[in-house]
Amino acid sequence: MDMTQVLPDSWQAWLGDEFEQPYMQALREFLAREKAARKVVYPHSSDWFRAFELTPLDQVKIVMLGQDPYHGPGQAHGLCFSVRPEVRTPPSLVNIYKELAQDVGFQPVNHGHLESWARQGVLLLNTSLTVEHGNAGSHRGQGWETFTDKAIATVSAKAPPSVFLLWGSHARAKKSLVDTSRHLILESPHPSPLSAYRGFFGNHHFSRANAFLKEHGREPVNWQLPDTP
């Protein structure tokens, strides 16, 4: 596929040149080999840049960082932590909902589809944009991280004052890409069942993020998801 035709215009001016870089050519070749070997890759190529499509650069308010897309059938659709409406809500997202309930009075929903957040300016970005079926981490180190690091740095340099939610050591490693004189970094353990009780619960990141946005004259995020996505 021609990746340059998929990236939305609002990001193209800042990230378009990345597609000409040697690392991106190597990534294309890697993905072509995966396809030739008949491996199943998630999400579908039409969703690789979905986070960028739904959240234009000038509308970014919050950056939420994940690692890989989900690697089960029908789950991943290009937004970190989010799954398609008919798919069971994953454990980490269940814990995010629990913290939202405690923090901002979030009411439970029976789905894990987060597009409404993305359309409000929450960039739901995985650091690797593809993964092999059933093989977590299988596409790490192939080039995606170079591209998404550039995206994070672009938000830092070009977006209005925003909040970076860095959960877990993988996300927290990206701190150096963010200009903290303009943006707010909120960090904690990851919301996964293995670590949520070590400090994710009770972090109040959602209310704190909205408070920062208000302080900078920006519309806060309505974290409440619709009952039916």
Active site residues: 68
Q: What's the number of CA atoms in the CB half-sphere (13 Å) around residue 161?
A: 17
- Phi/psi of residue 192, each to 5°? -65, 155
Does residue 54 belong to any structural domain of this protein?
Answer: yes
Query: What's the rounded Cα separation, in Å, for the pair 25 and 27?
Result: 5
pTM over 0.75? The answer is yes
* pLDDT of the residue at 199: 97
Does residue 171 belong to any structural domain of this protein?
Answer: yes
- Give the rounded distance of the alpha carbon of 9 from its chain centre: 19
Range of the domain at 43: 9-216
Q: pLDDT, tens digit, for every residue of 95-141?
A: 999 999 999 999 999 999 999 999 999 999 999 999 999 999 999 99
Instruction: Output Rg (C-alpha) for the chain, integer angstroms.
Output: 17
Q: Which ranges of the chain would DSSP assign to H, the alpha helix?
A: 9-15, 22-36, 50-54, 91-104, 115-119, 144-158, 168-172, 205-215
* CB contact at 8 A, 165 and 208: no
In the chain, which residues have pLDDT < 70?
1-5
Domain count, the chain: 1
Q: What is the CATH number of the domain that holds 192?
A: 3.40.470.10
**CA distances from residue 36 to 31, 41, 142, 180 in whole angstroms, order as listed:** 9, 11, 17, 44
CA angle 92, 170, 218 (to 5 degrees): 75
Does residue 221 belong to any structural domain of this protein?
Answer: no
Does residue 225 belong to any structural domain of this protein?
Answer: no
**CA distances from residue 72 to 23, 52, 113 in whole angstroms, order as listed:** 27, 22, 15
Rounded to the nearest 10 degrees, what angle do helices 205-215 and 91-104 cross at? 60
* pLDDT of the residue at 153: 98
**CA distances from residue 21 to 26, 29, 143, 150, 183 in whole angstroms, order as listed:** 9, 13, 10, 12, 28
* pLDDT of the residue at 22: 97
Pairing mode of beta strands 41-42, 131-132: antiparallel
What's the sign of the alpha-carbon dihedral 178, 171, 160, 45? positive
Does residue 118 belong to any structural domain of this protein?
Answer: yes
Residue from 52, 80, 30, 34 nearest 151 by CA = 52
* pLDDT of the residue at 1: 56
Does residue 207 belong to any structural domain of this protein?
Answer: yes
Q: What residue has token string 């690697």? A: 71
* CB contact at 8 A, 148 and 125: yes
* pLDDT of the residue at 7: 87
Query: What's the rounded Cα separation, in Å, for the pair 60 and 158?
Result: 10
* pLDDT of the residue at 154: 98
